[in-house]
């Protein structure tokens, strides 16, 4: 089986996604970049990565969902707002057949930014 080449940047990652998923990936990217305009954007672990004073967020497309990965404990702290989604310790799965909660994604990214900023001030 032929393996796909690893994308060199986020544009390439989105371009290799199935056509029907690309719009949602672009929406997540836009929300993260607006919420964290100073964040570094690159590919890490084969998926889009955003860093701002530490790890901020990753996202990836799958067959039936888009995974958003935000370092702990942000997801646990916002669990009441995430009841409509499958979650794990640092993962939220947004089904492809539903509209993305862009406001909630922005809120989660902002919450992680605050934690990263606070950690840098302490240490």
pLDDT in tens, 5-51: 689 999 999 999 999 999 999 999 999 999 999 999 999 999 999 99
Instruction: Give the relative orientation of helices 19-35 and 102-122 as an angle to the nearest 10 degrees.
Output: 40
Q: What is the DSSP letter of 78?
A: T
Domain boundary assignment for the chain: 10-122
pLDDT in tens, 49-87: 999 999 999 999 999 999 999 999 999 999 999 999 999
- Rounded distance, CA 123 to CA 119, Å? 6
Residue 33 phi, psi (nearest 5): -65, -35
What pTM, to 2 d.p., does this model score?
0.92
Residues 6+ apart with CB under 8 A from 105: 28, 31, 32, 35, 68
CATH topology of domain 10-122: 3.90.1150
């Amino acid at each position: 089986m032929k393996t796909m080449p690893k994308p060199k940047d986020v544009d390439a990652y989105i371009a290799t996604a199935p056509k029907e998923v690309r719009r949602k990936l672009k929406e997540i990217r836009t929300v993260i970049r607006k919420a964290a305009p100073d964040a570094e954007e690159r590919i890490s672990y084969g998926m889009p990565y955003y860093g701002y004073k530490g790890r901020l967020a990753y996202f990836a497309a799958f067959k039936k969902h888009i995974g958003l990965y935000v370092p702990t404990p942000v997801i646990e702290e916002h669990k009441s707002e995430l009841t409509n989604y499958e979650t794990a310790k640092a993962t939220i799965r947004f089904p492809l057949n539903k509209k993305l909660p862009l406001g909630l994604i922005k809120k989660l990214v902002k919450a992680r930014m605050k934690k990263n900023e606070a950690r840098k001030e302490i240490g």
